[in-house]
Structure 1
Amino acid sequence: MTQSAKEADLCSVVCICYNHSAFVEAHLRSVFQQEDENIEIVLLDDGSDDGSLEIINRVLKECPFEHKVIAQQNTGRVSLNCNRALESARGEFVVVISCDDILLPGSLSKKLEQMRADPALVFVASSRNYIVDPRGEIIDEGLLTPTHGKQITDPKVLLEIEYESLGSFYFQAGVFRMDVIVSVGKYDEDLIGDDIVLRTKIVQYLIENPNRSFDLIDQPSFGYRKHGDNLHGNSLRQIRTVVEWKNRFFPDRALPELAFRWMERFFRSSAKAGNTKALREALALDPQIEEHFDQYKKIGSTGLLRSLGIFRPS
């Protein structure tokens, strides 16, 4: 569908919420404070049961931008929820961010200026961001990606960094062209992974379209809020995400070395907790995991070997 003149410059900020009552007001106010005037907010609440929706509706009464709230029954499926929100977004440009994180002041204006000036740009994202605590205080200004400090213009190089590092830049708070996201099929709803999947598809698009470009800038864009319910704290989910992603996009390659290091931490924590169920689930995900597990047991400490020895795939 042809976009209207207003939509041609519009940036849709897509916010995804689930039980973020402690953080969603600060999140929304960080969007309100953005300098660009041509912004809309599309917020999807995935059936929160902690009062998040009531807070959202109250705070949005002060919103300086057009906005839409999608309130639905809980699905627990991040990719599906992102796609539903994207379907309601009207902008030529889109930013996706979780409602427990915050946009930093001025984080969108420079990116949007670049995107509007150069139609070849597919996205502008940051190679450095901040970590904030549950109160919103900055606790680390050095949330660096593997691309930080590097002048990368070749998407093939970017794809290799994506593979080796399990992520080349933070998708959150990057500004992307909506038509490119649509053309690559948006998020893959049959996979657990979300950002890593869409990011890989967009980099593949850049490889296939050498007339298009991207920019990774040093300016921090968002504050990643560290708290007890972060999805990244779910080790089994992270392993499953990486296995599914690797098998879809790099089917002829082994799992990255970094993935094996993640697994070893998971093996140790599972052994200490006596969590046979989680370990059996992990070992069943891919033959490479079981093979690495057997090798790891041979070099582990004596005590850990005894613990790990009780775990076998069912």
Structure 2
Amino acid sequence: MQPLLSICCLGYNHANYLTDNLESISRLNYPNIEVIVVDDGSSDQSVELLNDLITNFKYPIKLIAQQNTGNIGLNFNNAIKHANGEYITFISLDDVFNSKIFTNFLEIIIEDKSLAFVSSSKAISINNLGYIDFDKPGKLPIEDISNPNIDDLLELEYKDFGAFYIQGAIFRKDLIDKINGFDEDMTGDDIVLRTKIFLFLKDHPEYNYKIIHKPSVFYRLHDTNIHKNSIRQIKIISEYLGKYWPNKPLPQTFIDWSLHSIKNREIAYVEKIIYLNPTTKRLMDLESIQKAINKTKPSFIKKYIFNKTRVQNDKKITILGFLSFSYTSLNLFKIIFKTQKPTQTNIHYHEYK
């Protein structure tokens, strides 16, 4: 009997993508798999569809349908509690395994008992219909590091907030248990788990790991992706920096994200970001942030005559303090550029080699 692999899946309103995800699991050329699915209170018929799909599925599936928590770390920990495998992996139900590559990762970690994990340094995105967009999420910084050591990986977490994606990585289950899984008091999930693993491995050099330049998962980009919520993203990173790097300077990437988020925003939105927690309050010590806030504060002209602000992806114009309308910005250059060089291809993930 081959070692058992536990696949922990997390979904919230992913009914449109469930079939793709489970089909990619069924294509894994491995005989001993269990699937644990946590549905976090979906309102889109996900649970009903999952119950239908489970009936004739290739592998045993345990479905945990719960009230919505919005706590990804807690939800994955709920799945871990039910995982019996020697090895474990994590995936969101809107994403899809690159089945052939993932199976190869599994063969590698089973063959080498010293490996704590096998992961990918390459990310490939797909759209709602499954067609590949090679320009997103872009090149990961780890691709430029040959044979990264633990300090390199920790530095990537601190500076760039991501050495690799946990989805599609395969971990020893006993390692996940030793670090107590995800931190349930943190908004972030993958960045926390990776950091805890790296810190553990730094103290236990008997473990090895392997990072391979092949994509084991296709990441689905759609309108409800969590990463499109800028306040949530800043909250994730600021909490993470405050807990794991409290005595280090704020990294430039975090400063740049914050500047972009508050630029041309209404002052109430800016204050919501700045006063999220003690880490975001440290932004006030930076001259660049202070300048951006001063530009945001409404002057007499902005308050009573003419003001233009950003509201999500739209622009809002207010005239005479009370006449307001919003519009979507159209950048002719970008439209022409995208027409000449489309980022979305006509290659479906099924055809990717």
TM-score normalised per structure 1: 0.89
Residues 10 and 19 of structure 1, relative CA distance in 2, 3 Å threshold: same
- Segments of 5+ residues of structure 1 without an aligned counterpart are 1-5
Query: What is residue 228 of structure 2 aligned with on the other side?
Result: 233
Residues 281 and 27 of structure 1, relative CA distance in 2, 3 Å threshold: same
Is the contact between residue 132 and residue 139 of structure 1 (CA under 8 Å) also seen in structure 2? yes
* Corresponding letter in the other structure for 2:132: I
Note the 1:151-300 alignment, pairs <5 A. 151-268=146-263, 271-272=264-265, 274=266, 276-284=267-275, 285=277, 286=279, 287-292=281-286, 295-298=288-291
Distance (Å, rounded) in 1 between the aligned partners of 2:242 and 2:261 = 20
Offset from partner CA, 1:265-298 (integer Å, 9 cap, x none): 1012xx34x3x44321211123222223x53353
Distance (Å, rounded) in 1 between the aligned partners of 2:19 and 2:140 = 27
Q: Per the alignment, in what secondary structure is the counterpart of residue 190 of structure 1?
A: coil
Distance (Å, rounded) in 2 between the aligned partners of 1:308 and 1:291 = 17
Query: What is residue 93 of structure 1 aligned with on the other side?
Result: 87
Offset from partner CA, 1:113-143 (integer Å, 9 cap, x none): 1111111100000000210001111122764
Offset from partner CA, 1:87-110 (integer Å, 9 cap, x none): 001111111010111111313211
Query: What is residue 104 of structure 1 aligned with on the other side?
Result: 98
Q: Per the alignment, in what secondary structure is the counterpart of residue 156 of structure 1?
A: helix
Is the contact between residue 146 and residue 169 of structure 1 (CA under 8 Å) also seen in structure 2? no
Query: What is residue 29 of structure 1 aligned with on the other side?
Result: 23
- Whether 1:307 aligns to 2:307 is no
Is the contact between residue 243 and residue 255 of structure 1 (CA under 8 Å) also seen in structure 2? no
Is the contact between residue 129 and residue 141 of structure 1 (CA under 8 Å) also seen in structure 2? no
Query: What is residue 14 of structure 1 aligned with on the other side?
Result: 8
Distance (Å, rounded) in 1 between the aligned partners of 2:170 and 2:234 = 28
The alpha carbon displacement at 1:149 in A equals: 4.4
The alpha carbon displacement at 1:32 in A equals: 1.1
Distance (Å, rounded) in 2 between the aligned partners of 1:152 and 1:196 = 20
Distance (Å, rounded) in 1 between the aligned partners of 2:17 and 2:129 = 8
- Whether 1:75 aligns to 2:69 is yes
Q: Per the alignment, in what secondary structure is the counterpart of residue 26 of structure 1?
A: helix
Is the contact between residue 95 and residue 176 of structure 1 (CA under 8 Å) also seen in structure 2? yes
**Aligned match for 1:51, one of 37, 45, 64:** 45
Note the 1:115-134 alignment, pairs <5 A. 115-134=109-128
Aligned residues: percent identity?
Answer: 33
Residues 118 and 288 of structure 1, relative CA distance in 2, 3 Å threshold: same
CA RMSD for the aligned pairs?
A: 1.8
TM-score normalised per structure 2: 0.79
Is the contact between residue 87 and residue 173 of structure 2 (CA under 8 Å) also seen in structure 1? yes
Give the ranges of 4+ consecutive aligned residues of structure 1 lying more than 6 Å apart after TM superposition.
none
Is the contact between residue 95 and residue 218 of structure 2 (CA under 8 Å) also seen in structure 1? yes
Q: Per the alignment, in what secondary structure is the counterpart of residue 101 of structure 2?
A: coil
**Aligned match for 1:139, one of 133, 136, 139:** 133
* Corresponding letter in the other structure for 2:296: S
Q: Number of paired residues? A: 295
The alpha carbon displacement at 1:147 in A equals: 1.0
Distance (Å, rounded) in 2 between the aligned partners of 1:289 and 1:149 = 30
* Corresponding letter in the other structure for 1:169: F
- Segments of 5+ residues of structure 2 without an aligned counterpart are 300-353
Distance (Å, rounded) in 2 between the aligned partners of 1:247 and 1:128 = 28
Q: Per the alignment, in what secondary structure is the counterpart of residue 210 of structure 1?
A: coil
Is the contact between residue 12 and residue 40 of structure 1 (CA under 8 Å) also seen in structure 2? yes
Is the contact between residue 262 and residue 269 of structure 2 (CA under 8 Å) also seen in structure 1? no
Is the contact between residue 79 and residue 188 of structure 1 (CA under 8 Å) also seen in structure 2? yes
The alpha carbon displacement at 1:309 in A equals: 4.9
Distance (Å, rounded) in 2 between the aligned partners of 1:205 and 1:146 = 22
Residues 249 and 297 of structure 1, relative CA distance in 2, 3 Å threshold: closer
Distance (Å, rounded) in 1 between the aligned partners of 2:211 and 2:149 = 12
When structure 1 is superposed on structure 2, of 135-144 and 201-210 the one drifting more is 135-144
